[in-house]
Amino acid sequence: MGLNIVLVEPEIPQNTGNIARTCSATGSKLHIVRPMGFFIDDKKMKRAGLDYWNEVEVIFHDSLESFLEKYDRALMFYISTKGTICYTDIRYPEECFLLFGKETAGLPKWLIEQNYERTLRIPMKEESRSLNLSNSAAILTYEYYRQKGFNYLK
């Protein structure tokens, strides 16, 4: 049960390390979908996650397709600048998956098109391209727990 953060083909080790730290602080599960743009033992990623890696449940998936097949019945939300639904305008269920795309391209276009009604956006100025991946993951993670009264964090 609870929150699952899914990184689809992450490219920057520091972002993944920071997200692992957020998952550690909140008890969220971290899913990493390969291929990644770095090795899991990358010193920059370890430094960003500090000593929190042993406190995070990390689940690796060989591809996006294998991840989607494994969790085909799970409720998923897709985080993208192309979404029209504000991340605060929905009620998160007890268990859900928040999918974030790679830093340079976001989630695949086909995935967004097939799931547009569950594609969420973080509001920002129109001329802004995007927020940092680890910041976006933290914003959504804490909105989930805020809606739960932060009870999962006790």
pLDDT tens digits, one per residue of 7-44: 999 998 889 989 999 999 999 999 999 988 877 765 65
CATH for 149: 3.40.1280.10
Q: Which helix (H) or strand (E) holds 133?
A: helix 133-147
Question: For residue range 73-128, what is the model confidence (pLDDT) as tens digits?
Answer: 999 999 999 999 999 999 999 999 999 999 999 999 999 999 999 999 999 998 88
The total domain count for the chain is 1
Residue-number span of the structural domain to which 138 is assigned: 3-153
Describe the strand order of the beta sheet including 29-33 as a list of residue ranges: 58-61, 29-33, 3-8, 96-100, 76-79, 119-121, 85-86
The neighbour count for residue 110, using CB atoms within 10 Å, is 9
pLDDT at 152 > cutoff 80:
no
- Are 50 and 16 in contact by the 8 Å Cβ rule? The answer is no
Total residue length of the chain: 154
pLDDT higher than threshold 80 for residue 136: yes
Cβ(2)–Cβ(94) below 8 Å: yes
Q: Per the confidence metrics, is the pTM higher than 0.85?
A: yes
